[in-house]
Chains A and B, each alone.
Chain A
Amino acid sequence: MSVSQSLIQSQTQKVPLLNVSGLSVQFETQLGRVRAADDVSFVLFENETLALVGETGCGKSVVASAVMNLLPQNAAVNGNIEFEGRNLLDLGEEEMAKVRGAKIAIIFQNPSLSLNPVITIGDQIAEMLQVHGKAAGRSQSIEKAAGVLQRLGLGERGQLGMYPFQFSGGMNQRVMIASALVLSPKIIIADEPTKGLDSATAAGTVREMEKMKDLSGAALLLITHDPALVQRIADRVAVMYCGEILEIGPCPEVFHEPLHPYTRALLNCLPERGMHPIPGVSPSMTNPPKGCKFHPRCPKRRAKCSQSPFMKQIKANDTETKSNERWIKCWLY
């Protein structure tokens, strides 16, 4: 039985929406092949929020782009991304265009690259509604757009007619969020949605995202560097390191009792846990360490760690916690 199959079976009460299995992404560059995602597998269930965390450059955005089928030409992609009975990686551009935005929406990490600089804020969102046939005419779509923007704190009437360059960083960030939510997609991928927002605005924005998500029963794949945000809104968390998922499990359990040595090291960087940096340097992605990629920095390494570990389900009686939903890629278990 494959990892993803048993992953599904272990939680039969939940409905899987998106099933990523054995995803690998490699980029060809002049200085070698970058292994940005390596055998990544996870399931996203209806209604849930799954957080994807890990240090910068570990491959989080690459996974998001792979799901959207938006990776650049120099990428070699393998594996399966199953959604509504089809492998998204097999879909042509035309089919994929119908999925993007309407069924799976993404809030990109970088607003300036994804907002159209010559279209007003109101029209950016209204246009999405019209392209996907979700509003009768221009005035209705503008009306709808205004409604969503208002809920995200951009309510002033005059703001609809402004251009992205006339908005602040945080305001554009919220425009991106509005455009992802407006079509009520089944899956929302949010790449650092609160980056650069002050805490009050961030909290308000997240509340609105959650509300709209609950309303439509959508699932949220949340990519973030903010552990407080993860703890507050994520149901499960997946921890990524150098292109691989090393641990995945229910959020409270992972924070309370991290099992993988990397997860422990990562949590020790938190201000409230003493801000202990992880010793050693981030590994190269073109020439990653053999075996477990974390082993050169791992305090618990042993001889076996120079061989690649595989994803393993942890039984409830192995830990303090009670669920059977924890998965670890480490020879310790």
Chain B
Amino acid sequence: MLAVLKAEGISMIHESGLFHKTRREIFRNVSLELDGGKTIGLMGDSGSGKTTLARIMAGLEKPATGRVLFRGKDIAFLRGKEQGDFQRSVQMVFQDPEGSLNPRKSIGRSIHEVLGLLKVPKREWLERTSDILQTVGLSEELLCRYPGQVSGGQNQRIALARVLLLEPKVMILDEPTSALDISVQAQVLSLLRELQKNRGLGYLLVSHQPEVMRNMAHEVFVLNNGCLVQSG
């Protein structure tokens, strides 16, 4: 069986500095497979390259070498329907939720935008919106507000709600619960597990919290000194 998403021997180099270019290798020769129904945990120190790896797998950045395959096809060469399929099936929830929502669009509008994209008939919007808010444990009071007008944890759940509407196959979750208190964190994690059971979702979960990993991940990998190693 073909993996839904697969990284094959990827490495990443960042250049910085205007005059004295310094090249830094972030990681090398990393391979990783993501499949439905399974959670892969990704850990590593601050700055070890977790977000970079996650972004590459989501197709948001190009690796220096190696490739990322979506159902066996290199994502760099996807076109038309296949590309649309990839963009919908693989969704990323960002480490910094405030930064990923458009500050000039109300929460309601940014949710409706997704419904429009999905061609959901307008008469169903209200119901779908209230359903998804309930799923992530948020009140409809927030709909008229802008991202700057809700709390950190509320923003994180709004970002999650938008992604869930797209009904992805694989979700790349970069610290999805870092802004949440323990009670809401438990709620969100159990939601993710439930979705995995019911819809067969696959996750790449980046987290610093060992308890979260123990609770969620089937396999855990660690980025250390530029290498990806399986732990435990």
Q: Which residues of A contact B (CB under 8 A)?
A: 27, 29-32, 34, 53-57, 61, 72, 74, 109-113, 158, 161-162, 166-171, 173-174, 192, 195-202, 225, 227, 266, 269-271, 275, 277-278, 281-282, 284-286
- Within the complex, what minimum Cβ distance (angstroms) separates B208 from chain A? 4
Q: Which residue of chain A is the closest to B150 with respect to CB atoms?
A: A57
Cα–Cα distance between A67 and B43 once the two chains are bound (Å): 36
Cα–Cα distance between A57 and B210 once the two chains are bound (Å): 25
Judged by a CB distance under 8 angstroms, whether B31 is at the interface is no
Cα–Cα distance between A310 and B138 once the two chains are bound (Å): 29
B178 & A196 in contact (Cβ 8 Å cutoff)? yes
A113 & B99 in contact (Cβ 8 Å cutoff)? yes
Cα–Cα distance between A273 and B178 once the two chains are bound (Å): 20
Interface size on B, residues (CB 8 A): 45
Q: List 16 A-B contacts (CB under 8 A).
A: A29-B145, A30-B144, A56-B179, A61-B152, A110-B99, A158-B22, A166-B14, A171-B47, A195-B178, A196-B95, A198-B44, A201-B45, A225-B180, A225-B182, A225-B185, A284-B141
A56 & B184 in contact (Cβ 8 Å cutoff)? yes
Cα–Cα distance between A6 and B140 once the two chains are bound (Å): 41
A112 & B98 in contact (Cβ 8 Å cutoff)? yes
Cα–Cα distance between A32 and B141 once the two chains are bound (Å): 8
Q: A31-B143, A277-B187 are in contact. Are A56 and B98 (CB under 8 A)?
A: no
Cα–Cα distance between A61 and B46 once the two chains are bound (Å): 24
Q: A196-B95, A198-B43 are in contact. Are A29 and B144 (CB under 8 A)?
A: yes
Q: A56-B184, A266-B183 are in contact. Are A112 and B149 (CB under 8 A)?
A: no
Q: Which residue of chain B is the closest to A170 with respect to CB atoms?
A: B46
Q: Which residue of chain B is the closest to A281 with respect to CB atoms?
A: B137
| Secondary structure dominating the interface of A | loop
B96 & A112 in contact (Cβ 8 Å cutoff)? yes
Q: A192-B179, A277-B186, A277-B187 are in contact. Are A57 and B95 (CB under 8 A)?
A: no
Report, nearest first, the 9 A-B pairs whose CB atoms are least far apart: A56-B153, A170-B46, A30-B144, A112-B99, A225-B181, A57-B151, A269-B183, A198-B208, A269-B182
Q: Which residue of chain B is the closest to A162 with respect to CB atoms?
A: B16
- Within the complex, what minimum Cβ distance (angstroms) separates A209 from chain B? 16
- Within the complex, what minimum Cβ distance (angstroms) separates A217 from chain B? 29
Q: A161-B16, A198-B44, A269-B186 are in contact. Are A72 and B149 (CB under 8 A)?
A: yes
Which residues of B sit under 8 angstroms from A166, Cβ to Cβ? 14, 16
Q: Which of A171, A192, A271 contacts B152 (CB 8 A)?
A: A192
Q: Which residue of chain A is the closest to B209 with respect to CB atoms?
A: A199
Which residues of A sit under 8 angstroms from B152, Cβ to Cβ? 56, 61, 109-110, 192
- Within the complex, what minimum Cβ distance (angstroms) separates B182 from chain A? 4
Judged by a CB distance under 8 angstroms, whether B91 is at the interface is no
B96 & A169 in contact (Cβ 8 Å cutoff)? yes
Judged by a CB distance under 8 angstroms, whether B154 is at the interface is yes
Which residues of A sit under 8 angstroms from B175, Cβ to Cβ? 169, 196
Q: Which of B43, B51, B151, B182 contacts A270 (CB 8 A)?
A: B182
B17 & A168 in contact (Cβ 8 Å cutoff)? no
A169 & B95 in contact (Cβ 8 Å cutoff)? yes
Judged by a CB distance under 8 angstroms, whether B211 is at the interface is yes
